[in-house]
Structure 1
Amino acid sequence: MSDSILEEVFIKRSQQKKKTSPLNFKERLFVLTQDKVAYYDYDYDKGKRKGLKGSVDIEKIKCVEVVIPEDNAPAERIFPFQIIYDEGPLYIFAKSDDVRKQWLHKLKHLVRFNKELMQKYHPCFWEDGMWRCCQQEVKQAMGCRVLETRNGVGKGLSKGSRRKSRKPLPPTPEEEKPTRPLPPQPPKQPKFSEGMTVIAEYDYAPMAPQDLELRKDEEYLILQICDANWFRAKDKYGNEGYIPSNYVVEALNGLEKFEWYCKSINRSQAENLLKTENKDGGFLVRDSGKYTGKYTVSVFTKASPQGPTCRHYNILINHQNQFYLAEKHCFSNIPELINYHQHNAAGLVSRLKYVISNRTQNAPSTAGLGYGVWEIDPRQLTFIKELGNGQFGVVKYGKWQGRHDVAIKMIKEGSMSEDDFIEEAKVMMKLRHENLVQLYGVCTKQRPIYIVTEFLSNGCLLTYLRENLQHPSPVQLLEMCKDVTEGMSYLESQQYIHRDLAARNCLVDSNGTIKVTDFGLSRYVLDDEYFSSVGSKFPVRWSPPEVLLYCKFSSKSDIWAFGVLMWEVYTLGRMPYERLNNTEIVDKVSTGYRLYRPQMANDKIYSLMMNCWQEKADERPTFQELVISIQDLLDNLY
């Protein structure tokens, strides 16, 4: 046995390996040698050590540091320190500060050449399933305070990764000022009410026994608003059941009855649809990108001197509240205007010959596969092909009940905190937005568990950027970014943080709409490498300084990540900081380094990215502000 370097009786705290484990404090004789720290029972009467209770090999120690004492700590527990190794922090209480300093000095000297020394640590205790310093609920989460420096080099940092700037680091969590609260959301007026008559925009085949069939363009009476996603309704035959709220509109709004009205489509998507149909005089009516409550007629022509092209005409209103495209031809409503121009060009590039619509094939996703359904029977799933392999396991394309397209994420055992996620899934299913991938339900009765979501045929945005976009227009790139901000603005309004926003975590539907996926899932990762900023799986390239240094996530860290996502879009999927490794990125970003301006991004676009990369989190915009800024840029392009 190695000769002892130090011996001392300390109080040791139990490691609380489970959230429910009670804490206890016991006196142990600690013995430090060149090879290990060991602790024993101690016989006070005879002044001798008894049985060995535990030990930590010196070569496995990742950090040795003081701990901030708990509030109102008793006198014997006001000088704590910690030894961090694979099994977590070992908390020890010295009898005096001098004794603590002696042990810390000797331990740090012994571990100074260890391979896996930490860059950051938690200055407060892990207690009741939470880090008291930063409120993170994952025990393996990266520390929130950078280790103090010695001779200019951080303990645990290699010489190549030392700071090259004297610019001060952001404040530690204890010193940090509270971030600026999100601006209050405007009060939402209820769109529907009980007793209201609505019209079905899409056919809906019941997916659960309690659902009611919807037939496009027929009227229904709302009996009960169960939640934002589902209504109980009655049809004209007296049948009652549950219907998805996003499949119906108020009967007073007339445009939804017409095939030519495609409300949820933007300019570039309209052009793609019209060019795909390739019919001279093909047209559709859509919501104007410039003004709420205004409309645009998009027309495809083959007769242009420039070759096949699309023209866009805003529907205007004169002083008599009449609608017109050509000022000499005014009408009391939009259907009359469209009917006239179906027979007369009257100043347009072509008369409106063919109705082009995406409504039949693009019915929106529902919040769940039927009202109240969140647990899905795996026997009703058919697996068709593998789509990819992600953080949690294999993702497959399949069918539910043989007729509904779904994506099925098969969770690799040990990759996720499953019980916590299953509880959260009930909440996540209620999140519904046209720019979010809809969670349909989960299969939890067997292992591995499955997560069943909406299927998007064009796959991952990152692959789409790299392989499908050859010569994208400025409008197309900016509308992709706007889609993401719309979905993230909704998450922001629901106080939901993504934590892993990037092009790889967005999907593209058949119409070119971008939808954000995997929001919030990183909270349930069980992977040491993911929680280390030097690990290859941690999203270092999309993370702001407060996440890299303190693992402090917020809606403003999502804003930073969105700026990087914009950069991915404007470089058609290049790797951010492609010539730097993770350690170099942590060092450079925290000292002010930022990504360069992509060739396809003008100064205004790059300025928007740079606003997302403000060093102080509270100086970054909100997603709602980004939606407005991007729309302003689009208006100038239109």
Structure 2
Amino acid sequence: MSDNILEEIFIKRSQQKKKTSPLNYKERWFVLTQEKIAYYDFDSDKGKRKGLKGSVDLEKIRCVETVQPEINSPQERMYAFQIIYDEGPLYIFSKTEDVRAQWIKKLKEMVRFNKDLMQKYHPCFWVDGVWLCCQQEVKQAMGCKVLDNKNGFTSNLHLSRRRGSRKPLPPTPTEEKAVRPLPPQPPEAPSHSVGMTVIAEYNYTPMSPQDLELRKDEEYTVLEMSDQNWWKARDKNGKEGYIPCNYVVEAEHGLEKFDWYSKNMNRSQAEKLLKTENKDGGFLIRDSSKAGKYTVSLFTKGGGETSGSCRHYNICTTAQGQFYLAEKHHFSSIPELINYHQHNAAGMVSRLKYIVSNRARPPSTAGLGYGVWEIDPHCLTFIKELGNGQFGVVKYGKWQGQHDVAIKMIKEGSMSEDDFIEEAKIMMKLRHENLVQLYGVCTKQRPIYIVTEFLSNGCLLTYLREGLKQHPTTVHLLEMCKDVSEGMAYLESQQYIHRDLAARNCLVDGNGTVKVTDFGLSRYVLDDEYTSSAGSKFPVRWSPPEVLLYCKFSSKSDIWAYGVLLWEVYTLGRLPYERLNNTEIVDQVSRGLRLYRPQLANEKVYSIMSRCWLEKADDRPTFQELALTVQDLLYELQ
């Protein structure tokens, strides 16, 4: 057919889904089109293609690479390559090196903008329940070899999970210039369009005269999208105004309209919610730790357990794109799958009896109403002091008597105020579930105030030392690290450098989600003791050699600090290099000293820390790569 890009007869290896299933090798007729790679049975005598045996949609491909041949492989199996997608690796054997190279090159070219590309892969085969290259015994285990991104296969994962864009992320700056220009405004999401109908997920009470009220489950028409956080919309009565775009979902797409879907919820939070509800068969659907995947979390009182327990089932997909929990029951959509299992257990410990929802708590908005940047201090009520930071006192309060806020009261002389105020307009537009939201500033009086989202569990450092009521699980610790990595990956994509990433500069909300705060603020500090690397207030314990020796900040110096933050998490808040003073740290870190492996961290977690602490900044990973690595580790634990 005219739309076929490549055709070839290859040997295909069975996927060996179970340890006991025998390996077999069969000749198949492979056809590559713009949408998929399909393979067929064929009549070798007549040279004709027969029935379709399977296919893989190109948009689901995460990696295309060669595979090292096994020892004593026959000649016809010397030139193997692999196509990795949701179901695992599809192993294909070419007759010649040239044909293999042709197919790999073309496939890489066609999938280079896929949103879930891998950073690491397995160079050898999965055989009899083990990876031959690294001996890991979990088929979903992350790869052991870093992909060569210079070989035409650049990963462009966009970390905002449900955006459909294939546009690559902007390049990460390697070094901050002496006079740093204002960063670009975050790009507008291209997957939505003016005129579309959206449904409100939450109620929204207008906070400025230009806002439009939202009522949960009602429909609205989008009229304008010039602001990426606030869309102009019309309700069914013809009234127009601005709405927070993260409160609505497109009417015909997504799981957000279903009460059983809990967006941005991790495993620990799901277990806490289900146990609080305490209903046998209580369930919810949440995002898996791996982007684009979903997990069913189910509470059961069966099996003789008096207090009940939680089970987690990953929703799988077939090669044809159908969804299933039990292998014999496939569905074309996740809502159909949930509807079936609400009536049939089909292999699970229980059917899905009761929807458990977290929809009561709406997300933060980018500002307190459309266009609200300068906040009237008379609208703020101070309730209690939360602490004393670098810039002055931080208090918990209310805006207009009802909205929780945190208020930083900036001590005069501590900050370059004019420069900060100019950039605050840009910083307000940054919105991510793992960043503390900046709501606005009060600049008409002195001291000036910075008004932000309030997080009830306070500082991560204090939470690690005092707030964990019980010994944290491996999953819980890793989830905290994942939260920070994804917030920082977003900042990295917006070309923001934090400069002071540490557990003390992260906060924890009432659900246990960790959010990064004070990003970029250290640039406006006027305290010499802080701004000089020789100063006693300088974050020496979180700084790499190039910052300690040359004050050379970049996104890669933030990576180093992230490795130290991981160490803080896995020591439950101990002081890095606790027996050394600042002068000794500068000397010994520059000579190669690194923090030891914490008792709670296994070798895989410590290897992440170690990669963050590589001597050469350019050798350290990006936050995008780290977020993927942590996702993979969490996925193994599910």
Separation (CA, whole Å) in 2 of partners of 1:546 and 1:318? 48
Separation (CA, whole Å) in 1 of partners of 2:631 and 2:273? 21
Flag the 1:586–1:266 CA change in 2: closer, same or farther, 3 A.
Answer: same
1:392 matched residue in structure 2? 391
| Shift in Å, 1:291 | 5.0
Per-residue CA distance 1:125-169 (angstroms, 9 max, x = gap)? xxxxxxxx995469xxxxxxxxxxxxxxxxxxxxxxxxxxxxxxx
| Shift in Å, 1:533 | 2.6
Per-residue CA distance 1:428-487 (angstroms, 9 max, x = gap)? 101111110000000000111100000111111111111122311111111111111111
1:434 matched residue in structure 2? 433
Separation (CA, whole Å) in 1 of partners of 2:303 and 2:411? 55
Separation (CA, whole Å) in 2 of partners of 1:532 and 1:256? 48
1:266-277 map, 5 Å = 266-277=266-277
Tell me the amino acid that sits aligned with residue 587 of structure 2.
D
Would the aligned equivalents of 1:368 and 1:429 in 2 still touch at CA under 8 Å?
yes
1:249 matched residue in structure 2? 249
1:36-435 map, 5 Å = 136=178, 190-253=190-253, 255-290=255-290, 292=292, 294-305=293-304, 308-318=308-318, 322-361=322-361, 363-435=362-434
1:513 matched residue in structure 2? 513
1:584 matched residue in structure 2? 584
Tell me the amino acid that sits aligned with residue 484 of structure 1.
V
Would the aligned equivalents of 2:249 and 2:257 in 1 still touch at CA under 8 Å?
no
| Shift in Å, 1:189 | 6.5
Flag the 1:518–1:636 CA change in 2: closer, same or farther, 3 A.
Answer: same
1:403-552 map, 5 Å = 403-469=402-468, 470-552=470-552
Would the aligned equivalents of 2:189 and 2:228 in 1 still touch at CA under 8 Å?
no
Aligned with 1:259: secondary structure?
A: coil
Per-residue CA distance 1:299-349 (angstroms, 9 max, x = gap)? 011223455221111223456755432344444433333233333333221
Aligned with 2:384: secondary structure?
A: strand
Per-residue CA distance 1:500-521 (angstroms, 9 max, x = gap)? 0000000111111110000000
Flag the 1:333–1:135 CA change in 2: closer, same or farther, 3 A.
Answer: closer
Flag the 1:303–1:263 CA change in 2: closer, same or farther, 3 A.
Answer: same
Separation (CA, whole Å) in 2 of partners of 1:267 and 1:601? 19
Flag the 1:542–1:215 CA change in 2: closer, same or farther, 3 A.
Answer: same
Aligned with 2:529: secondary structure?
A: coil
RMSD of aligned residue pairs (Cα, Å): 2.1
| Shift in Å, 1:353 | 2.2
Per-residue CA distance 1:561-586 (angstroms, 9 max, x = gap)? 00000000000110000011111111
Flag the 1:574–1:304 CA change in 2: closer, same or farther, 3 A.
Answer: farther
Flag the 1:383–1:550 CA change in 2: closer, same or farther, 3 A.
Answer: same
Would the aligned equivalents of 1:533 and 1:582 in 2 still touch at CA under 8 Å?
no
Would the aligned equivalents of 2:229 and 2:245 in 1 still touch at CA under 8 Å?
yes
Separation (CA, whole Å) in 1 of partners of 2:546 and 2:272? 41
| Shift in Å, 1:357 | 1.2
Would the aligned equivalents of 1:529 and 1:536 in 2 still touch at CA under 8 Å?
yes
Would the aligned equivalents of 2:176 and 2:554 in 1 still touch at CA under 8 Å?
no
**Which consecutive unaligned segments of at least 5 residues does structure 2 have?**
1-174, 181-186
1:565 matched residue in structure 2? 565
Separation (CA, whole Å) in 2 of partners of 1:230 and 1:531? 36
Q: % of aligned pairs identical?
A: 80
Separation (CA, whole Å) in 2 of partners of 1:636 and 1:324? 19
| Shift in Å, 1:297 | 0.9
Tell me the amino acid that sits aligned with residue 427 of structure 1.
I
| Shift in Å, 1:255 | 2.2
TM-score (norm 2): 0.69
Aligned with 1:530: secondary structure?
A: helix
1:607 matched residue in structure 2? 607
Would the aligned equivalents of 2:544 and 2:560 in 1 still touch at CA under 8 Å?
yes
TM-score (norm 1): 0.69
Flag the 1:253–1:543 CA change in 2: closer, same or farther, 3 A.
Answer: same
Flag the 1:331–1:621 CA change in 2: closer, same or farther, 3 A.
Answer: closer
Aligned with 1:257: secondary structure?
A: coil
Flag the 1:188–1:449 CA change in 2: closer, same or farther, 3 A.
Answer: closer
Tell me the amino acid that sits aligned with residue 617 of structure 2.
A
**Which consecutive unaligned segments of at least 5 residues does structure 1 have?**
1-132, 139-186
| Shift in Å, 1:359 | 1.6
